[in-house]
Structure 1
Amino acid sequence: METWTLSLLLVSLHGAAAVIHSLKYFDTASSGLPNFPEFVIVGLFDELQISHYDSNTRRAQPKQDWMIRFTEEDPEYWKKETEKSLSSQQVSKVNIEIAKQRFNKTGGVHINQMMGGCEWDDETNEVVGGFYQFGFDGEDFISFDMNTETWIAPKQQAFITKHKWDHNKAWRAQTTHYLTQICPEWLKKFLKYGSSSLMRTELPLVSLLQKSPSSPVCCHATGFYPDRASLFWRKDGEELHEDEDHGEILHNHDGTFQMSVDLKLSSVPAEDWRRYECVFQLSGVEKDSVTRLDEAVIRTNAEKPIDATTTTIIIIIIIAAVAVLTLGLAVGGFMCYKKRKGEKLKDFQV
């Protein structure tokens, strides 16, 4: 399945740059997968998990403190979210069986996924993206094209669904209205409630790590927020575009982020090391965080025992990896958050 990455478009990492905010919900139904809920819904705002529902707890719950405030405004909010999630669970259970029949599959593990949401530009106040997509067993199944208000079916098995949904004018209109009106309204509301948390900036702990003297040097930054950040190596003040390997931005368990970039030094004389430095830039923060390449500050397992700080970094990496794996199973494809001012965006069988 192709990965839908909702990237944040930056004018500049420094200063008050315009930001593309995103709200998306992931719905994952599975069969034959032991020790994992048959149905999971995960809500993300700007890549931060804000809500969770699964078939084991059968309850929609907030994942951020500021999301609890919705209870103050509407005491029935989470009860209604639970009811909608239960309804989605039933429809998804039917859909996964229909998909198995369409693809002539029976036993084994099967996963049916949905993703839906929108993107909004906080500078222009325009909706710049909307998506409602389905997948089955790791491959695209069907998706909604906002421009033509029609469904795109890359698989022959989805033609029946495309024909059915394209001819349902009410369903098409409701989907368009949700993506262009309802979803952005909720996105702005979440931004308002969580602004103190979502608009904050936290600088990272930056460390230089190396497995062995012959290994690349890893510049690792962890604990920063938001994820609109850049990490790179430079030599004599010039950014390097070769001999470095960038890693992805990963979530930490506490809602912050981490990232790393490796520098290959196999052909660099030891006396030239101090010409290199690792630079971290964070949106909204004018001053860069610069760490000069110095053998004395590199932490390496080959030369010294792991101290408390390094142990903490390793634990953070492990926790982040587990969190990403767990979230990946739930978020593995994509889900449509189905809500319409207290009403649910109607679920449809495929």
Structure 2
Amino acid sequence: TMRILAIILLVIRGAVAVTHSLRYFYTASSGISDFPSYMSVGFVDDVQISYCDSRTNRNIPKQEWMKEVSSEHPRYWEEETDTCLDKQQTFKLNIEFAKQRFNQTGGVHVYQQMYGCEWDDETGEVKGYDQIGYDGEDFIVLDLRTRSWIAPVQEAVTSKNKWNSDIFVASPESFYLTLMCPEWLKKYLSYGRRTLMRTDLPSVSILQKSSSSPISCFATGFYPNRAEMFWRKDGAEIHDGVEKGEILPNNDGTFQMSVDLNLPSSEDWTKYECVFQLSGIERDVITPLEKTKISTNEGNTLKLRFVFFTLLHGFLTDFIFGKQKSRQ
């Protein structure tokens, strides 16, 4: 019975549908010296594909396979650069409008947009999103189900009412996010299939800052970012005293994550092991908890690196991002 159950679980794990994503992040800022006043970044499955800012004034591919787009669309990168230049001007206006709405003059301010779609390669389900943020708070969000805008703050109500009364605002947005966006996503996936469809297992380390600190199981270098990691005791997954971190990007296109375990020194550590599971891979990466193999000095360096990515990830995701065209 246990053998049959194990086989069923392996089949289920191997058959899990994959949700792919195409996301663009646009950012305008003011009051920040030595920093571009505008940036745009594109991602496919959390892998950066493009970049443009107000200093370079040119949209460039960030993956070799993205250069293949030009073979099918010769003016692709020229048009992307034009879009970057147009958005710079639009976002400069947007941030000034937002400052007026909040009665602000000086200081540091950030106006952003997260724009894109997700596609389930098994069910074909598509989800689109267009979210605006200002200074780290939600400003206005498109609800695709009702094709209407939602204003979480009073300062955005004027824009919400104006956009909701204009059928030429939400309808084209809905068309792009639910039809055009997934088609481009599939196109990019075909170009980057070797990279985006690969599987890389991680290196796993057991880290502990001090004898009284939590024990951290740290995995890095894996791809894709559809992964699970947990602690087991005597072969059973445990939840008490466990704190799981987010999956975060490395600068080489792979990912990292950690899961911490609070464990008394009096406990029998030989009963514990860290388990890493990667989508599409049947074999788990199992790391037994052995005191002699815990990294301390090296662990501090790795942990600091993990904290850095956590803070960076938080900074990027806390700001939810601004419209493609100025609508204030």
TM-score (norm 2): 0.90
How far does residue 232 in structure 1 lie from its aligned partner after superposition? 0.8
Match of 2:69 in 1: 70
Q: Deviations over 1:208-252 (max 9, x none)?
A: 112222222211111111111111110000001111221111111
SS in 2 for 1:215: coil
Q: Decide whether aligned partners of structure 1 residues 323 and 40 sit closer, same or farther in structure 2, where only a CA change above 3 A counts.
A: farther
Matches of 1:85 and 1:251, distance apart in 2: 25
* Identity percentage of aligned residues: 53
RCO (CA 8 Å, sep 6+): is it higher in 1 or 2?
1
What SS does the aligned partner of 2:140 have? Answer: strand
Higher share of residues assigned helix: 2
Q: 2:283 aligns with which of 279, 283, 287?
A: 287
Residue 85 of structure 1 pairs with residue 81 of structure 2: no
Q: Distance between the aligned counterparts of 2:37 and 2:63, measured in 1?
A: 24
Q: How does 1:133-172 map to 2 (within 5 A)?
A: 133-172=131-170
- The change in CA–CA distance for 1:67 and 1:323 in structure 2 (over 3 A counts) is farther
Contact 2:130 2:323 in 1 (8 A): no
- Name the CA distance, whole Å, in 2 between partners of 1:130 and 1:41: 18
Cα RMSD, aligned residues only:
2.3
Match of 2:296 among 295, 300, 308: 300
SS, match of residue 113 in structure 2 = strand
Give the gaps of 5 or more residues in structure 1.
Answer: 1-10, 339-346
Instruction: Judge conservation of contact 2:137–2:318 (CA < 8 Å) in 1.
Output: no
Shift of 1:349: 2.7
CA drift at 1:14: 2.6
1:42 and 2:41 correspond: yes
Q: Residues of 2 paired with 1:26 and 1:13: CA distance?
A: 34
Aligned residues between the structures: 319
**Per-residue CA distance 1:159-202 (angstroms, 9 max, x = gap):** 22112111211222111111111111111111111111111100
Asked if 1:275 is matched to 2:271, the reply is yes
- Quick check: 1:252 aligned with 2:246? no
Q: Which moved more, 1:43-52 or 1:23-32?
A: 43-52
1:219 corresponding residue in structure 2: 217
Helix, strand or coil: the match of 2:106?
Answer: coil
Partner Cα separation in structure 2 for residue 288 and residue 67 of structure 1: 32
Equivalent residue of 2:295, what SS?
strand
**1:109-124 matched pairs, under 5 angstroms:** 109-124=108-123
What does residue 7 of structure 2 align with? none
Aligned AA (1:281): Q
Q: Match for residue 99 of structure 1?
A: 98
Aligned 8 A contact 1:25 1:336 in 2? no
Matched, 1:201 2:199: yes
Gaps of 5+ in 2: 1-9
Q: SS at 1:299's partner residue? A: coil
Q: Tell me, yes or no, if the aligned pair for 2:134 and 2:321 is still in contact at 8 Å.
A: no
1:105 CA displacement = 0.4
